Structure 1
Amino acid sequence: MQIAYFHTSEAVPPVRPPSEGGPDGAVVIDVLRATTTIAWSLQNGAEAIQAFADLAELEAAAAAWPADQRLRAGERGGKRVDGYDLGNSPLAVTPEVVGGKRIFMSTTNGTRSLAAVREVPLLLTACLPNRTAVARRLIERDCQLVWIVGSGWEGDYSLEDSLAAGAVASAAIELAVGPHRGVHCANDEMLAALALWQQWRHDTETCLRAASHGQRLIGIGDHDADFTCCSAVDSLQIVPIQAEPGVLRAS
């Protein structure tokens, strides 16, 4: 398996079919906090997450869904969009709130990365809590070329997403045993992410807090519980998978 890492959606090349050298697997990461929230939403019984980069498109799709079976989750600049049911906190998506509901979700960065690789045959989302489960799924599907896509912050590099990219790749390396099942870095960005994971793997919360987006969250309010949740490693076995374009379900 070859794994390449792209820091943001803007860095992702045009997606080609695997038969033309494109990826057969993609993993989107937004540690603080979209992909952590997605994983916990599905863990806690949400029917699906439908992701949108654009709020107007979200509103139109949500309006066509039964009102008692939907929630709108919107975040811009780290804060909940006015009038929406949810923001972007994994602590808010409790079973009582999300059970049986479809969550129509748009965030500042993560949902743009999902849109960038929507055409890849196998599309998963990862965070630190489910990093080994995601790596295992990539190996089970015998993926040959995987693109891991970070979300960054408005086009800029993100330390915490790179940490999680390294965490996923490290887990894949550990799991891929036996002949012809090696995992290799396909670009320098992936190699650097692995090095970052080796540096911070025993103190992930400190890394998240030190990152620029961590500092941004600290500046706008008390997010201690979010930091604890988002930095937990291997606390979930659930793997969000794109079941249809833009729609993520538990697997």
Structure 2
Amino acid sequence: MQLAYFHVAADAPEKPMPDAAVVIDVLRATTTIAWALHNGAEAVQTFADLDDLRSSASKWNPSKRLLIGERGGQKLKGFDLGNSPVAVVPELVKGKRLFMSTTNGTKSLQRVREAPMLLTLSLPNRSAIAKRLLREKPTNIWILGSGWEGSYSLEDSLAAGALAAFLLNEANGLVSLVNDEITAAFSLWNQWKHDPEACLREATHGKRLVGIGDHDADFKCCADLDSLSVVPSQKEPGILVPS
């Protein structure tokens, strides 16, 4: 298995698509997706464009849907929830479809939606994603970060390195790191693996979240390594389900 990492959607080649794509937005979209599906959401349908989201959501039974969205880290006006993994509790999301758009993560999901296998990674479901990849053994794996408005993000690279570390440890020589970005991410993980929450807080986006409110619960949740067994997987373009 050949593992490559791209910091943001624009860095990834346009084609061909890899055998498997793993999208990361640690703070906070892919962590929210993992927790929503773990807590019983029927699916999470993602959109880069808000008009497309509203159009699709309008065709869904209002009692069976939730609108989740943020821009600049803050909840969108008229939406049910922002982008917080601690907000998608079972009593709100169970049995519902979540229509989601975020500043960064949903753009990366759209970039690789044609990949034969598309999964979303957070630190809480790191080992679950790794075990799925080890079972399926795709030849080419892209890890795609979300960054912040097109630029590098420390926290996504941390998670990419965490996944690489698990795969290298468990794959008995079957995994190779094929670009400098994934090698650097692996080194970053080795530096911060004993305190990932500190890395999230040190990141520029972490500091941005601190500046706009109390996100202590989100930081703790986003840094909670290997606590979930859910594997969010694309069922059809833009629609993620638990698997």
**After TM superposition, is the score higher than 0.5?**
yes
Gaps of 5+ in 1: 17-21
- Residues 32-91 of structure 1 deviation map (CA, whole Å, 9 limit, x = unaligned): 000000000000000000000000000000001111100000110000001100110000
Aligned counterpart, 1:36: 31
Provide the rounded CA distance (Å) in 2 between the counterparts of 1:33 and 1:27: 15
The residue number in structure 1 matching 2:96 is 101
TM-score, normalized by length of structure 1? Answer: 0.96
Contact residue 41 and residue 98 of structure 1 kept, 8 A: yes
1:42 maps to a residue whose letter is: L
Q: Quick one: distance in 1 between partners of 2:18 and 2:101?
A: 25
- Per-residue deviation, 1:209: 0.2
Instruction: Give me the whole-angstrom Cα distance separating, in 2, the residues matched to 1:158 and 1:15.
Output: 24
**Alignment partner, residue 188 of structure 2:** 196
Contact 1:150-1:162 at 8 Å conserved across structures: yes
**Displaced runs of 4+ in structure 1, greater than 3 A?**
none
Give the TM-score normalised by structure 2. 0.99
- Between the aligned partners of 1:216 and 1:247, the Cα distance in structure 2 is 29
| Candidates 224, 230, 238, aligned match of 1:232 | 224
Equivalent of 2:60 in 52, 65, 88: 65
1:144 alignment counterpart: 139
The equivalent position to 1:82 in structure 2, one of 77, 84, 87, is 77
Contact map agreement 1:8 1:113 (CA 8 A) in 2: yes
Distance 2:121 2:57 in 1: 25
Q: Is the 8 A contact 1:132 1:168 kept in 2?
A: yes
Query: How many pairs align?
Result: 243
> Could you give the per-residue CA deviations for residues 176-198 of structure 1, whole angstroms, max 9, x where no partner exists?
13xxx511111000000000000
**Aligned counterpart, 1:13:** 13
Residue 19 of structure 1 corresponds to none
Superposed displacement of residue 15, structure 1: 2.9
Give the deviation of 1:23 after TM superposition: 1.1
Listed as ranges, the gaps of 5+ residues in structure 2 are none
Deviation larger for 38-47 or 168-177: 168-177
Query: 1:62 and 1:185 mapped to 2: Cα distance?
Result: 40
Q: How many Å apart are 1:139 and its aligned residue?
A: 1.3
- 1:45 corresponding residue in structure 2: 40
- Which residue does 1:182 correspond to in 2? 174
Q: Which residue of structure 2 aligns with residue 220 of structure 1? A: 212
Give the 3-state SS of the residue equivalent to 1:207 in structure 2.
helix
SS of 1:128's partner is coil
RMSD: 0.7
Q: Which amino acid in 1 is paired with 2:12?
A: V
